[in-house]
Amino acid sequence: MCWSPGSYASSMPTRKQKRREAKSKRHDYEFVYLDEEGNEVEPPPEAPEPAARQRPSSNGGKPAAAGKPARGGRARRTPQPPSWQRAARRALILGAVVFVLFSLNHGKKGASYTSAAGLAVLYTALFIPFTYMIDRFAYRRFQAREDGGASTRQAKKR
């Protein structure tokens, strides 16, 4: 008995193929046009073919339309230019969270609110430039994408 790699795979559909087939059957529908008497008639010539009847993409994914916004109909959010004020505001929020978390350790031996406050101030001070750099990176990437892939840095002259 000789076994070949394609012999078993072609005889029985996989779970993914079964799910895809079931989904296509669930969503398969067509429009029926009725006249005044209730008889079925041909669709009018100006009626476009429904989207469900169009051929799906070859890999089974949804086709990406150039004009449609991404993620469920929402437009992409444009990043704001980086600012130190926004970075400081975010760092203050993080500092408050860090203070609360380190204060929970107050009941332990040797821990106090002053040490928790000191650590919160340290983390806040370190977080401000870190957040600013992340915002600057995201904004530059957005600008480069808007410019059609051009780099934000100029090429070096040789």
Q: What is the pLDDT of residues 106-123, one digit of tens each?
A: 666 666 788 888 888 999
Domain borders along the chain are: 15-52, 84-146
CA distance 49 to 31: 9
pLDDT at 156: 45
**Confidence (pLDDT) at 133:** 94
pTM over 0.75: no
The whole-number pLDDT of residue 87 equals 92
pLDDT at 59 (0 to 100): 64
Q: Report the pLDDT averaged over residues 132-149.
A: 88
Q: Compute the CA torsion angle 3, 8, 10, 16 (nearest 10 deg).
A: -150
CB 152 within 8 A of CB 140: yes
Q: What is the mean pLDDT of residues 137-155?
A: 75
Residue 148 scores a pLDDT above 50? yes
Residues 6+ apart with CB under 8 A from 4: none
Task: State pLDDT tens for residues 15-62.
Answer: 998 888 887 777 656 777 788 888 888 877 775 555 555 555 556 655
- Residue 79, pLDDT > 60, answer yes
Angle at the Cα of 72 from the Cα atoms of 67 and 73, rounded to 5 degrees: 45
Is pLDDT at 70 greater than 60 in this prediction? no
- Kindly report the CA angle at 82 between 79 and 86, in degrees rounded to 5? 100
At residue 88, what are phi and psi to the nearest 5 degrees?
Answer: -70, -40
- Measured in degrees and rounded to the nearest 5, phi and psi for residue 106 equal -60, -35
What does the alpha-carbon distance between residue 51 and residue 28 come to, in Å, rounded to a whole number?
11
